[in-house]
């Protein structure tokens, strides 16, 4: 707080160098501006940004519990409406708070149609408690509760498709974004907060500590997720996919081999069978969202 | 008027701006009545039909932090589901007021009355008021808001009234007018709130260097509340004729040898039983606890100073120990002479009659207590 002011999400917080979530928060506030009330779930972001008596938030901010963020935001929205106030309400939580423990409150808030934006910074595991698997952890990722071992290849389940679940609630605007594409992320959060009703933005936020890569590679890893088709940036309006980020697709191993959480797929021997299953996930994403740029369609790499 | 409807009417007169509510027996008539008031624009409020009690109190938390007066009601399992949020609301010093239509906790499932639910969140840092009848249940809502929102207090409050026994019972209730309510309870003026023009952070995490002080300040506020509750109760009495200055109520206690102690609607039965015992020359009296948190320790010690035996009627049990009221009474009387005997009774809606009260007095005269009263023979 004694240091110079950087932005609405100030410098000086306690996140790891190269933290994708911190970048997500900073970009999010660039998009929303100062007339925003932020409701934050328990998690890395809450802990690294608000050690009493310091705070990184230059906007009104409230953290209550791990799982009740959407319900707290519902109350804030209702109070602002009764007081005739115009601030935007943004709830932000990690994937554990959003996909898993906060699902009940999230579903309730979206079904009721409160005018709020829910932003999930998705770093694909419970990072604050030490890298345990969540409903957002990708197939085969090794975490502390889904460790790769002699009879396991890591997380056994694919990622939950939460954006579609929320779109099915009737959310007018649902989008996925990545910290690797800041301009796109900002545009999507802007659109979400300016769309009446409950909107959802899920931000891919690579975690150098949890995924096992050097902090300076966060953006690169984020880009590779998109370029391999393992993360798709898209927008859904009234339940329909309206815009998709197209790419010249790379094989998934270029993404996987950069991260310790997938190291067991390459060492001691390359596990072609499992890598093929992950490639199939990317191929399915590509087909479902039409992400392959047409000019290179014939040259697109085949699944190994 | 039905108890629930009297409470709903009082709540309306308190003008909450946000009412998140989830239905649970026997609380439903309150939240249904409020929904109707909102639907007919008799109450200008955002009524949020949340998907659980957990979200009900979470939404209260958000709305209160944003600067609105908020209200909800629940009971039993619903309050248990709110447990985590209860500590959060009080820790953030948000003056939420909630009605509890007291009910037993499962298993086994029971929709009937005892006070285990609110007693089980005894340590959550909320004020707790217990009403004897529907008049008092109604009046306590205005008082609860007034005290909760006092800048010297800033604590949430539970107004507890016995499920079914009061909530579904028709009694005459003298309602104050809206003008009178407005004069007694001015609009909520939060000391701070979530506001883009003056950003604050709520609910930060505190390291071991700070946490202890937060709890100390919370406890200090609760202790300060004793006088403020008393003042608010006196002011209510001055304005409307029903005085709540005291956090307890004594009944024929002055010359009593045996004092019964309880909370809630059971006090009515106890008073009738006392009258009958008095006619037969037994010197019995009652001390009713109206405010359980903060606990009026000094007031209790003073009121019970002259009696020989105290018989506590607890509609709750801290399993493996005693009833919660008995423990408080023992604390208040520590080092003083009266013998304190505890009777666990009326759990899960088991009826407690005048006859039972008289039998308990007989047990107390023989020094027999610290027991479940009225058990079926087959478990003995």
A65 contacts B46? CB cut-off 8 A: no
* Alpha-carbon span A245 to A290, nearest angstrom: 9
Which of B19, B55, B208 should one mutate to test binding to chain A, selecting the residue with the greatest count of A CBs within 10 A? B55
The question of ipTM being above 0.85 is answered as yes
A78 contacts B88? CB cut-off 8 A: no
Mode of pairing for the β-strands spanning A61-63 and A36-40: parallel
**Mapping DSSP to helix (H, G, I), strand (E, B) and coil, where does residue A136 land?**
coil
The distance of A10 to chain B (nearest Cα, Å) reads 13
A71 contacts B201? CB cut-off 8 A: no
Give pLDDT tens digits for B24-65. 999 999 999 999 999 999 999 999 999 999 999 999 999 999
pLDDT at res. A301: 60
B205 contacts A75? CB cut-off 8 A: no
A60 part of contact set with chain B, CB < 8 Å: yes
Q: Is the peptide bond before B167 cis (omega within 30 degrees of 0)?
A: no
pLDDT at res. A304: 54
B85 contacts A58? CB cut-off 8 A: no
* Alpha-carbon span A13 to A47, nearest angstrom: 9
Of the pLDDT bands very low, low, confident and very high (cuts 50, 70, 90), residue B173 is: very high
Phi then psi dihedrals of residue B56, to 5 deg: -60, -50
Q: Please state the length of chain B.
A: 380
DSSP code per residue over A234-286: EEEETTEEEEE--B----THHHHTT-GGGGGGTSSS--HHHHHHHHHHHHHHH
Q: Judge contact between B266 and B351, C-beta under 8 A.
A: no
pLDDT at res. A1: 43
pLDDT at res. B136: 98
- The average pLDDT across B299-313 equals 97
pLDDT at res. A101: 98
B206 contacts A76? CB cut-off 8 A: no
Query: Among candidates A62, A26, A71, A32, which has minimal Cα distance to A187?
Result: A32
Nearest residue in A to B47, CA atom = A78
pTM of the predicted protein model: 0.96
Which run of H or E residues covers position B331? helix B324-332
pLDDT at res. B1: 96
- Domains within chain B, CATH numbers bracketed: 3-240 (3.40.50.970), 248-379 (3.40.50.920)
Among the partner residues A53, A68, A79, nearest to B85 by beta-carbon distance: A68
Chain centre to alpha carbon of residue A222: 11
Which of A8, A43, A69, A79 should one mutate to test binding to chain B, selecting the residue with the greatest count of B CBs within 10 A? A79
Among the partner residues A36, A76, A111, nearest to B62 by beta-carbon distance: A76
Give pLDDT tens digits for B240-293. 999 999 999 999 999 999 999 999 999 999 999 999 999 999 999 999 999 999
Query: Among candidates A267, A221, A241, which has minimal Cα distance to A161?
Result: A241
Establish how many alpha carbons lie within 13 A of residue B49's alpha carbon, considering only the half-sphere containing its beta carbon. Answer: 9
Q: Where are the alpha helices (DSSP H) in chain A?
A: 20-32, 44-49, 69-83, 95, 103-112, 162-167, 182-194, 208-211, 218-227, 253-256, 272-289
Average pLDDT for chain B = 98
Among the partner residues B194, B199, B205, nearest to A50 by beta-carbon distance: B205
The answer on pLDDT for B3 being more than 50 is yes
B61 contacts A107? CB cut-off 8 A: no
Q: Mean pLDDT for each 10-residue chunk of chain A (304 residues)?
A: 68 95 98 98 96 96 98 98 98 98 98 98 98 98 98 96 98 98 98 98 98 98 98 98 98 98 97 98 98 71 58
* Alpha-carbon span B135 to A201, nearest angstrom: 50
Q: How many CB pairs under 8 A join A and B?
A: 161
A36 part of contact set with chain B, CB < 8 Å: yes
pLDDT at res. B66: 98
A47 part of contact set with chain B, CB < 8 Å: yes
pLDDT at res. B266: 98
The distance of B145 to chain A (nearest Cα, Å) reads 17
B68 contacts A78? CB cut-off 8 A: yes
Which of A75, A77, A80, A85 should one mutate to test binding to chain B, selecting the residue with the greatest count of B CBs within 10 A? A75
The distance of B201 to chain A (nearest Cα, Å) reads 5
Chain B positions in Cβ-Cβ contact with residue A72 (cut-off 8 Å): 58-59, 61-62, 65
Among the partner residues B18, B199, B201, nearest to A50 by beta-carbon distance: B201
**CA quadruple A115, A110, A23, A140: dihedral, nearest 10:** -170
The CATH T-level fold of domain A20-245 is Rossmann fold (3.40.50)
Among the partner residues B18, B62, B206, nearest to A73 by beta-carbon distance: B62
Nearest residue in B to A109, CA atom = B50
DSSP code per residue over B149-203: TSTTT---EEEEEETTTTTT-B----PPPHHHHHHHSPPP--SS---TTS--EES
């Amino acid at each position: 707080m004694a240091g110079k002011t950087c932005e609405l999400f100030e410098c000086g917080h306690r996140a790891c160098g190269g933290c994708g979530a911190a970048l997500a928060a900073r970009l999010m506030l660039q998009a929303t501006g100062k007339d925003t009330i932020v409701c934050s779930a328990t998690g890395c972001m809450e802990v690294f940004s608000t050690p009493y008596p310091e705070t990184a938030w230059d906007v009104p901010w409230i953290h209550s519990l791990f799982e009740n963020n959407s319900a707290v935001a519902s109350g804030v929205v209702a109070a602002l409406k009764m007081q005739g106030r115009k601030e935007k309400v943004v709830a932000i939580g990690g994937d554990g708070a959003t996909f898993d423990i906060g699902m009940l409150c999230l579903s309730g808030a979206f079904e009721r149609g409160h005018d709020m934006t829910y932003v999930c910074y998705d770093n694909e595991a419970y990072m604050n408690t030490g890298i345990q698997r969540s409903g957002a952890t990708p197939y085969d990722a090794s975490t502390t509760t889904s460790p790769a071992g002699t009879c396991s290849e890591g997380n056994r389940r694919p990622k939950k498709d939460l954006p579609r679940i929320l779109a099915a609630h009737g959310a007018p605007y649902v989008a996925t974004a990545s910290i690797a594409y800041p301009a796109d992320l900002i545009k999507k959060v802007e659109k979400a907060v300016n769309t009446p009703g409950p909107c959802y933005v899920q931000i891919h936020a690579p975690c150098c500590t949890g995924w096992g890569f050097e902090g300076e590679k966060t953006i690169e890893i984020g880009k590779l997720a998109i370029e391999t088709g393992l993360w798709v940036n898209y927008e859904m309006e009234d339940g329909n996919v309206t815009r998709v980020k197209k790419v010249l697709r790379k094989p998934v191993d270029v993404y996987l081999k950069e991260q310790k959480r997938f190291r067991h797929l390459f060492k001691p021997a390359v596990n072609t069978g499992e890598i093929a299953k992950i490639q199939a996930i990317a191929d399915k994403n590509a087909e479902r969202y039409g992400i392959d740029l047409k000019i290179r369609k014939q040259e697109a790499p085949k699944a190994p | 008027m039905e108890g629930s409807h009297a409470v709903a009417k009082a709540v309306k007169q308190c003008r909450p701006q946000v009412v998140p509510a989830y239905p649970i027996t026997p609380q439903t008539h309150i939240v249904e009545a409020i929904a109707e008031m909102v639907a007919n624009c008799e109450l200008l409020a955002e009524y949020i039909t949340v998907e659980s009690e957990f979200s009900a109190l979470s939404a209260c938390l958000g709305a209160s932090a944003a600067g609105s007066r908020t209200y909800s009601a629940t009971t039993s399992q619903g309050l248990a589901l709110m447990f985590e949020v209860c500590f959060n609301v009080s820790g953030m010093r948000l003056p939420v007021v909630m009605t509890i239509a007291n009910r037993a906790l499962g298993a086994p499932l029971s929709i009937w009355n005892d006070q285990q639910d609110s007693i089980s969140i005894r340590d959550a840092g909320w004020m707790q008021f217990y009403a004897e009848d529907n008049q008092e249940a109604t009046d306590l809502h205005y008082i609860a808001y007034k005290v909760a929102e006092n800048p010297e207090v800033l604590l949430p409050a539970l107004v507890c009234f016995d499920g079914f026994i009061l909530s579904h019972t028709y009694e005459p209730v003298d309602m104050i007018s809206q003008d009178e309510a407005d004069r007694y309870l001015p609009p909520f003026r939060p000391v701070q709130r979530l506001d883009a023009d003056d950003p604050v952070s709520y609910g930060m995490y505190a390291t071991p260097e700070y946490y202890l002080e937060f709890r100390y300040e919370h406890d200090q506020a609760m202790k300060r509340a004793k006088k403020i509750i008393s003042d608010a109760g006196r002011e209510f009495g001055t304005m409307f004729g029903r005085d709540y200055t005291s956090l307890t109520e004594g009944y024929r206690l002055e010359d009593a040898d045996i004092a019964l102690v309880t909370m809630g609607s059971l006090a009515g039965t106890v008073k009738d039983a006392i009258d009958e015992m008095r006619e037969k020359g037994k010197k019995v009296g009652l001390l009713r606890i109206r405010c359980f948190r903060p606990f009026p320790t000094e007031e209790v010690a003073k009121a019970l100073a002259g009696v020989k035996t105290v018989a506590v009627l607890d509609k709750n049990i801290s399993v493996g120990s005693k009833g919660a009221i008995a423990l408080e009474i023992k604390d208040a009387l520590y080092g003083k002479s009266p013998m304190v005997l505890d009777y666990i009774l009326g759990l899960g809606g088991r009826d407690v009659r005048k006859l039972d009260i008289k039998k308990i007095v007989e047990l107390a005269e023989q020094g027999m207590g610290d027991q479940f009263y009225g058990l079926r023979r087959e478990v003995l």
